[in-house]
């Protein structure tokens, strides 16, 4: 294919403004077709769209994480507030409990000082039952006094432990909330950055589009002006018509076209495209291809575009520029100047081209695509494809 392109070498590539975002070019292994080298730059529109979708999912997750962390903090704070109420109630009881404990300690001390020894206790008892009753009484007094002291110590320990636990839980929850908030902020910042890149990319792509269209128009006007001048330099209304042409990717000669709708906005389609929408594209493409070898393939183009997420106008438009809609194919069923490939049917060829375009160029048409698809005459090729797309 490169030999067939030699007739186009030396022609000045059109398009003055460099695209801010093109895919780092690599070899496309599609039935022997190799892409021309390109300078790796920033993200493409497709890559930015993919990143935006990923960030949107991250935003949803980050929002949920932050809401969960915030709810956890609020729940723990509620527990702390309840615990403080319990603490206040316990502290209100502490003076009385401290007094009881102190009294128990004093009673126990006095009792221990005044209690006779075991021998004296046995000798002073009238009988064994009296002895058992006395011992039981002494033990009860001792136990009661000990419980009073132990209760005070236990309540104080529980109070301190619960406060410490809740404080620790709140600190951990606040840390998780802060982390979630930072993650949420980071995602929002990334989204803003991606949106800014997308806006700048759209601005530059529009500038490139307008520049390519303007240069194509200049070429057309120059050719028309040359036709009005006779060989001796005088103006002649009978001069033979002249047309601006360029060499396509397949090596054919095509007329330079100027889009009637300069913006030629990209049409987004995907596997989620409804049957009604797909049928609408099929009808539009069939009307565009009527009378050509590709006539009746609108449904195939529309289905392939939906499967691979490509603007459904791109493949039919390229076929018009490269082969007059399949009329001048340099290989069987190869209407797109697609390497050295050939296919056994239009259906097979269409799916192969749309799939290859999606993997090697993206989903939309741009000057960056033109530089890779038809490097020698990228500007003329781009303007002409846009012109064909505007007719669909």
Residue by residue, what is the 3-state secondary structure of the chain? CCCCCHHHCCCCCCCCCCCCECCCCCCCCECCECCCCCCCCECCHHHHHHHHHHHHHHHHHHHHHHHHHHHHHHHHHHHHHHHHHHHHHHHHHHHHHHHHHHHHHHHHHHHHHHCCCHHHHHHHCCCHHHHHHHHHHHHHHHHHHHHHHHHHHHHHHHHHHHHHHHHHHHHHHHHHHHHHHHHHHHHHHHHHHHHHHHHHHHHHHHHHHHHHHHHHHHHHHHHHHHHCECCCCCECCCCCCCCCEEECCCCCEEECCCCCCCCCCCCCCCCCCCHHHHHHHHHHHHHHHCCCCCCCCHHHHHHHHHHHCCCCCHHHHHHHHHHCCCCCCCECCECCCCCCCCCCCHHHHHHHHHHHHHHHCCCCCCHHHHHHHCHHHHHHHHHHHHHHHHCC
pLDDT attached to residue 28: 29
pLDDT score recorded for residue 109: 62
CB 62 within 8 A of CB 187: yes
Residue 342 near residue 331, CB atoms below 8 Å: yes
Domain ranges in the chain are 6-43+245-390
pLDDT value, residue 350: 98
- Return all residues near 70 (Cβ < 8 A) that are at least 6 apart: 177, 180
Cα–Cα distance for residue pair 93/83, rounded to 1 Å: 15
Cβ atoms of residues 269 and 309 within 8 Å: yes
Integer Cα distance of 247 and 173 in angstroms:
67
Q: How much is the pLDDT for 115? A: 55
CA distance 354 to 302: 10
For the chain, which residues score pLDDT lower than 70?
1-42, 94, 97-98, 100-146, 148-149, 152, 227-241, 261-266, 268
Residue 229, pLDDT score: 52
């Amino acid at each position: 294919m490169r030999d067939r392109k030699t007739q186009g070498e030396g022609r000045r590539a059109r398009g003055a403004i460099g695209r801010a975002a093109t895919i780092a070019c690599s070899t496309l292994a599609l039935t022997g077709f190799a892409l021309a080298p390109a300078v790796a730059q920033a993200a493409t529109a497709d890559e930015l769209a993919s990143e935006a979708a990923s960030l949107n999912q991250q935003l949803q997750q980050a929002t949920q994480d932050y809401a969960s962390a915030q709810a956890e903090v609020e729940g723990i704070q509620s527990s702390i507030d309840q615990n403080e109420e319990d603490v206040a109630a316990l502290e209100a009881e502490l003076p009385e409990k401290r007094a009881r404990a102190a009294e128990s300690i004093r009673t126990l001390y006095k009792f221990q000082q005044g209690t006779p020894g075991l021998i004296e206790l046995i000798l002073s008892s009238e009988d064994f039952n009296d002895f058992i009753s006395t011992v039981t009484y002494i033990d009860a007094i001792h136990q009661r006094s000990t419980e009073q002291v132990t209760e005070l110590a236990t309540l104080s320990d529980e109070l301190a432990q619960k406060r410490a636990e809740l404080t620790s839980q709140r600190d951990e929850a606040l840390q998780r909330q802060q982390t979630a908030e930072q993650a949420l902020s980071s995602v929002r910042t990334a989204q803003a950055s991606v949106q800014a890149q997308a806006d700048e990319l759209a601005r530059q792509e529009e500038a490139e589009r307008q520049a390519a269209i303007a240069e194509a128009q200049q070429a057309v006007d120059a050719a028309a002006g040359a036709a009005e001048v006779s060989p001796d330099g005088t103006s002649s209304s009978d001069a033979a018509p002249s047309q601006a042409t360029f060499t396509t990717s397949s090596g054919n000669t095509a007329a330079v076209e100027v889009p009637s709708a300069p913006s030629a906005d990209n049409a987004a389609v995907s596997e989620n495209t409804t049957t009604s929408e797909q049928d609408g594209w099929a009808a539009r493409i069939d009307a565009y291809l009527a009378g050509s070898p590709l006539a009746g393939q609108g449904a195939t183009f529309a289905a392939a575009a939906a499967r691979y997420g490509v603007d459904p106008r791109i493949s039919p438009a390229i076929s018009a520029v490269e082969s007059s809609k399949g009329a001048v194919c340099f290989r069987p069923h190869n209407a797109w100047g697609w390497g050295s490939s050939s296919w056994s049917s239009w259906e097979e060829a269409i799916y192969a081209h749309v799939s290859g375009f999606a993997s090697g160029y993206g989903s939309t048409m741009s000057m960056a695509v033109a530089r890779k698809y038809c490097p020698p005459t990228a500007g003329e090729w781009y303007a002409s494809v846009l012109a064909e797309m505007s007719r669909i």
